[in-house]
């Protein structure tokens, strides 16, 4: 049986996500940064004081990758490492004031990218897409009740 990949939801989700990453990479390069640096700054803006390990887990990369990204951001005066009060082996990460203007630019680029990607899609369909994608994420992170039951009976 031949698969119609042009209408296969999993292939489309993969392709759209990849194309969004490519476009975000292009936009980040225009600011002299990388998409990974953008993601790190956005995460720190939302949750200051994270450790390198916590950031690595959230960004789904190795801690050494975060350390290298941070080295560049620290050198550029955008992030600072502060000693953890309870554990001197841990550094807590905080944005420097210089990061605020850059974050505003990143958010502008993010909004422009969203507008570009969703051009021609009515607002009600965008809202429905968000609902569907959130449910898919929940299914993948928690499993649906039927999937959990199937896995329990299989073990």
The beta-strand segments (E) located in 36-148 are: 50-51, 79-83, 91-95
pLDDT recorded at residue 155: 65
Grade residue 69 by pLDDT with cuts at 50, 70 and 90.
very high
pLDDT recorded at residue 60: 87
- Quick count: other Cβ atoms within 10 Å of Cβ 39? 19
pLDDT recorded at residue 31: 84
Does residue 1 carry a pLDDT above 60? no
Does residue 145 carry a pLDDT above 90? no
Residue range 23-43: mean pLDDT, rounded: 92
């Amino acid at each position: 049986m031949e698969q119609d990949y042009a209408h296969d939801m999993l292939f489309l989700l993969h392709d759209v996500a990849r194309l969004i990453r490519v476009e975000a990479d292009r936009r980040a390069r225009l600011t002299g940064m990388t998409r990974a640096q953008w993601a790190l700054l956005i995460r720190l803006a939302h949750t200051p004081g994270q450790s390198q390990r916590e950031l690595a887990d959230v960004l789904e990369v190795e801690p050494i990758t975060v350390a290298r990204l941070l080295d560049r951001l620290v050198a550029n005066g955008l992030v600072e490492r502060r000693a953890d009060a309870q554990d001197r082996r841990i550094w807590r990460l905080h944005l420097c004031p210089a990061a605020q203007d850059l974050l505003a630019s990143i958010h502008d680029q993010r909004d422009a990218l969203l507008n570009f990607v969703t051009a021609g899609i009515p607002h009600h369909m965008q809202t429905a897409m968000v609902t569907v994608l959130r449910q898919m994420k929940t299914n993948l992170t928690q499993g649906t009740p039927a999937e959990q039951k199937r896995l329990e009976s299989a073990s």
